A and B are shown apart, each in its own frame.
Chain A
Amino acid sequence: MADTLIERPGDLAATTLTRRRLLINAGVLAGGAMLAGPLAACGSTTATNTGGNPKRGGNFRLGVTGGGSGDIIDGQKIVNKPDQARLVAGFETLLEYDTHYKLQTTGLAESVTQDAPDKWTIKLKSGITFHNGKPLTSDDVIYSLQRITDPKQGLFGTAGLNSVDPNNITKVDNLTVRLNLKQADSTIGDQLGQYYNGIVPVGYTRAGEQIGTGAYKVQSFTKGQQSVHVKNTNYWRSGLPYFDMVTIIDFPDVAAQVNALLSGQIDAMTDVPAAQITVVTGHSNLAILEGQGADWRPLCMAIDMPPFDDVKVRQAFRLMVDRNAMLQQVFSGHGRIANDLYSPFDPAYDSSLPQRHQDIAQAKSLLHSAGKDNLVVDLHTTDGAAGMVDSANIFAHQASAAGVTVNVHNDPNYYGDAYLKLAFSVDFWGTRNYLPQVANGSIPTAPYNECHWPPKDSNYISLYQQALKEVDASKRADIIHQMQKLEYDQGGYIIPMFNNLVDAYNTKVGGFNNGSKATLNLDSFGHGYRSIYFTS
């Protein structure tokens, strides 16, 4: 499944969303240094490419890596990467992340407020209609949230919204919905901004008609080949979108994808391999778009399984990694080194913790004092996402300097069999903020807790409960810092780096943000293809 990108629930994640901030964003309160307004206006490290003036019309042809017979279109789920490209064409979320990974009210909701630790209110913008002309109302939001929280549907959003009580969502009026949670949860806003928590109309099914509120509606779709999407002429954002048509084409082979871009058969492509970047930049009409993704491929040490039940061994292993070398070798330098902590875009991410560097002498002495000289360990990996196998092999090589023998096992049956039961394994994750990520991978109730974190005597879980209840962002950040310190000192993850999203496009297309922190390729596909255009 090398071509398949499978993300787990809550791929994007939680920013510190307070009532105050959302109201500011919604323009209800004045003041603050907050940016509000359309996504296209956001850009400090980002530079909107200026190919010329927007021209209306045209067929935007996008080549997406991967895809196959398992392709689906669903407003709330993806299987392969082309499914992401198709989802965002037709479906929109209540809140949206901007190019700085800040949550904004540029989506379907006018405001999303936490009234109490376990009560949230969603107020919809008026005048939004679905592709079939039906107006968007509270009923659609309730149906969408009930569909996401139904475990039988197997959707990504289920785990992230598990505090939502599907039977206790109330319709206040035609545009207002109140969520009465099963327990306090400060991350609801983050979840509502995840691209796969799209809002679908009452009665929506995957097998039925694909009706959303997005800029383009599906005209035709052939699994493993391509889909054609036509402009939604009643789109609620006036004047948008620009293209008449968007064609999304699957490419199982990246060489064919690059060739199609070079010969002008497609206008943009996802995931340019490092070796092909110079091929693309060698053409004056093509350009690379590099997004600062926060995808990560951790090496996971189970803290309750030998030899990693000794914290000194975990610390030693974290010191054996040459992060820069690994970034160069696995992603040709297209990424940033990491500090064994996830969620770098979270405003509560503690960047004051010192960057860890390779220190073989210290690693050896830690292993010696733990009585684990000449250690031999098995490292399990699989071809689940780009870099998983390479990271394992390079780690094995680097560890040999500290006298540790790492035997790498590349096992196609890894997921569903040995997964989560291994002492030492490689996994992959998408971008999320800290608390939603914890819910998915770092507490005993999380579906994918590879490291069996936290230790039994730790106060980590009580800190987590406090953070979920804390409505004040700065107080919550203090609690999160304590949690991160615990993981930084004793945790089971080795997180060497975050990789960038490297895409390419023909410069006749304008409106992409370079350096965006959008979590999907091509600046989140030009924000659902509404902020990109052909230039004149």
Chain B
Amino acid sequence: MLDRQGPTGGPARTGGIRLFILRRILQGVLVLVLVSIVVFAATQALPGDPARAILGRGATPASLAALREQLHLNQPKVIQYLTWATGLLHGDAGRSFAAQEPVSTYLSNRIVNTGFLLVLSGLISIPLSILIGAYAALWRDRPFDVITSLATLVFAALPEFVVGVALVLLFATTVFHFLPAITLIPPGGRPWDQPIAIILPTLTLVLAVTPYVVRIMRASMVEVLESDYVEMARLKGLPERIVLRRHALPNALGPTFQVIAINLAYLAGGVIVVEYIFNYAGIGGALRDAVSNRDLPVVQAIAMIIAGLYVFLNLMADIATILVTPRLRTRL
């Protein structure tokens, strides 16, 4: 087997992986620090002044000055950044300008709601797309492959809001009427209290992510199936089942994990649109609201959450790729 060709033995290998993970975590932290600077700078560049946005038409020079003082908007930007960044390290994301309460209090339920939607969509779309992609490659040019290729191409080309609106028209308002058009989460409630209300948002996100993963899985599986080592395994007389599971699938999954990570991270952004369509109370809606209110602490907190998610998912994908790819694993 291929991993036997590696230069090092067992103990060195695990140490290599540990070191690799540690290095990647440190890189992730560095990325987050840089992101925090970019996020802070970007929110400063938002057109409009938070004090004005809060006071609206009632703004007078005196009330503006008082509010700026209260929000510490008069301090130098570097001090504002350092105050914010040290607060974050202590788990304190500041106070929401608009909600007049700690950002963590304001966002906690919304993070749970959005997280649940993302995890559920991921749990459905990942196995589903790996399965479809693998079988499409296996049954290349057969009807299953042709149909799924066409379908994935169509769904990949359609933006989430088109898919979401079409699903609402189809299942909730115009054609059939058996699913709720929006997701109402009562105060103190959780999205999983009413499973029927989360079907459409979940389905929209699944349809947004699955096509890309299916296509990359199919392509990578086709490549692996044509490789020398799979041919070798077949020639050795291994049963097809073993060939696929032990030799083909792990090697095809490597590149797929990277795409899954990127797509899941993309979901965190796509969820904004989906939350909008379904009036789903998550961080996407909060971000939109915060941007229009110039509620900088909330914008910054959500941007950091999404950035953190990107870093985390990429780290996971790298580790998973290493673990399923003997060639890479043994090189560490």
Q: Is B328 an interface residue (CB 8 A)?
A: no
Contacts of B277 in A (CB 8 A): 253, 255-256
Query: With A256-B182, A415-B56 given, is the CB distance from A69 to B279 under 8 Å?
Result: no
Q: Which residues of chain A from 286 to 311 have a CB within 8 Å of any chain B CB? A: none
Given A260-B181, A415-B56, A417-B52, 7 more A-B residue pairs with CB atoms under 8 Å apart are: A69-B293, A154-B58, A223-B99, A256-B181, A263-B168, A265-B182, A419-B57
Whether B303 sits at the interface, judged by CB under 8 Å, is no
Contact A260 B187 (CB under 8 A): no
Known: A221-B187, A227-B187, A265-B180. A413 touches B285 (CB 8 A): no
List A contacts of B279 (CB < 8 A): 249, 251-253, 256-257, 260
Within A205-258, the residues touching B (CB, 8 Å) are: 220-228, 247, 249, 251-253, 255-257
B:49-79 near A, CB below 8 Å: 49, 51-60, 64
6 A-B pairs with the lowest CB-CB distances in the bound complex, closest first: A416-B59, A259-B181, A68-B289, A263-B181, A69-B99, A262-B173
A70 contacts B by Cβ under 8 Å: yes
Residue A4 CB within 8 A of the other chain:
yes
Most chain A CB neighbours (cut-off 10 Å) among B106, B292, B295: B292
Whether A69 contacts B186 in the complex (CB less than 8 A), given A224-B285, A416-B55, A416-B59, comes out as no
Cβ-based interface call for A364 (8 A)? no
Q: Fill in one digit per residue for B286-317: 1 if any A CB lies within 8 Å of its CB, else 0.
A: 10111011010010000000000000000000
**Interface residues of B, Cβ cutoff 8 Å to A:** 47-49, 51-60, 64, 96, 98-99, 106, 109, 165, 168, 172-174, 177, 179-182, 184-188, 276-279, 281, 285-286, 288-290, 292-293, 295, 298
- What are 24 contact pairs spanning A and B, CB under 8 A? A4-B56, A6-B56, A8-B57, A68-B293, A69-B99, A69-B289, A70-B54, A70-B293, A220-B186, A220-B188, A222-B281, A225-B185, A253-B277, A256-B181, A256-B276, A256-B277, A260-B181, A260-B184, A263-B177, A413-B49, A416-B51, A416-B55, A419-B59, A448-B57
Bitwise interface map of A from 416 to 438 toward B, beta carbon under 8 Å scored 1, else 0: 11010000000000000000000
B295 contacts across to A, CB distance below 8 A: 69
B197 CB, nearest partner CB in chain A, Å:
9
User: Are A69 and B298 interface neighbours, CB within 8 A?
Assistant: yes
Residues 340 to 365 of chain A near chain B (Cβ within 8 Å): none
Is A487 among interface residues, defined by CB-CB distance under 8 A?
no
A259 pairs with B57, CB closer than 8 A = no
**A28 CB–B CB distance under 8 Å:** no
Q: Which of A8, A263, A384 contacts B180 (CB 8 A)?
A: A263
A255-B277, A412-B48 known; A69-B181 Cβ under 8 A: no
The answer to whether A390 has its CB under 8 Å from any CB of chain B is no
> Which A residues from 266 to 323 make CB contacts under 8 A with B?
none
In the bound complex, how far is the Cα of B285 from the Cα of A69, in angstroms?
Answer: 10
Chain B residue contacts of A3, Cβ below 8 A: 292
The chain A residue sitting closest to B169, CB to CB, is A259
Contact of A1 among B56, B165, B179, B276 (CB under 8 A): B56
Chain A interface residues (CB < 8 Å from chain B): 1-4, 6, 8, 68-70, 154, 220-228, 247, 249, 251-253, 255-257, 259-260, 262-265, 384, 412-413, 415-417, 419, 448
Asked whether, in the complex, the Cβ of A259 is within 8 Å of the Cβ of B172, the reply is yes
Query: Shortest CB–CB separation between residue A378 and chain B, in angstroms?
Result: 19
Set A1, A6, A225, A257: member contacting B58, Cβ < 8 A = A6
Chain B: CB-nearest residue to A8: B57
Given contacts A1-B53, A413-B49, A417-B52, whether A259 and B188 have CB atoms under 8 Å apart is no
A70-B99, A221-B187 given; A262·B289 CB < 8 A: no
Q: Which of A228, A265, A413 makes the CB contact (< 8 A) with B187?
A: A228
Q: How far is the CA of A448 from the CA of B60 in the complex (A)?
A: 11
Q: Once the chains are docked, how many angstroms separate the CA of A220 from the CA of B51?
A: 29
CA distance in complex: A507, B271 (Å): 34
Q: Nearest chain-A residue to B177 (Cβ)? A: A263
Chain B residue nearest to A385 (CB atoms) is: B57
CA distance A227 to B187 in the complex (A): 7
A384 touches B173 (CB 8 A): no
Can you name the residue of chain B whose Cβ is closest to the Cβ of A7? B57
Given contacts A225-B187, A249-B184, contact A412 B173 (CB under 8 A): no
* Structural contact, A256 and B278, CB atoms closer than 8 A: yes
Give A67's nearest chain B residue, CB to CB.
B289
B331 nearest CB across to chain A (Å):
50
Residue of A nearest to B277 (CB): A256
Q: How far is the CB of B194 from chain A (nearest CB, A)?
A: 11
A154 contacts across to B, CB distance below 8 A? 58
Contacts of A419 in B (CB 8 A): 57, 59
> Given contacts A259-B172, A262-B173, are A69 and B184 in contact (CB under 8 A)?
no
Using Cβ atoms and an 8 Å threshold, which residues of chain B touch A247? Answer: 186
List residues of chain B with CB within 8 A of the CB of A69.
96, 98-99, 106, 286, 289-290, 293, 295, 298
Shortest Cβ distance from A283 into B: residue: B173
Looking across the interface, which residue of chain B has its beta carbon closest to that of A250?
Answer: B279
B287 to chain A, nearest CB (A): 11
Chain A neighbourhood of B186, CB < 8 A: 220, 226, 228, 247
A224 interface neighbour in B174, B177, B289, Cβ under 8 Å: B289
Give the residues in chain B near A264, CB-CB below 8 Å.
177
A262 CA to B60 CA, complexed, in Å: 43
B64 / chain A contacts, CB cutoff of 8 Å: 416
Known: A70-B98, A259-B168, A263-B177. A416 touches B184 (CB 8 A): no
How many Å from the CB of A247 to the closest CB on chain B? Answer: 8
Whole-angstrom distance between the alpha carbons of A2 and B292 in the complex? Answer: 8
Given A221-B187, A222-B187, A225-B281, A6 and B57 touching (CB < 8 A)?
Answer: yes
Whether A259 contacts B285 by the Cβ 8 Å rule is: no
B286 — which chain A residues lie within 8 A by C-beta?
69, 224
Give A227 to B172 CA distance when docked, in angstroms: 24
Give B295's nearest chain A residue, CB to CB.
A69
List residues of chain A with CB within 8 A of the CB of B109. 222
Minimum Cβ distance to chain B for residue A432 (Å): 15
Q: Verify B47–A413 contact, CB threshold 8 A.
A: yes
Q: How many angstroms between the C-alpha atoms of A257 and B177 in the bound complex?
A: 16
Tell me the bound Cα distance from A252 to B289 in angstroms: 8
Complex Cα gap A391–B56 (Å): 20
B187 touches A220 (CB 8 A): yes
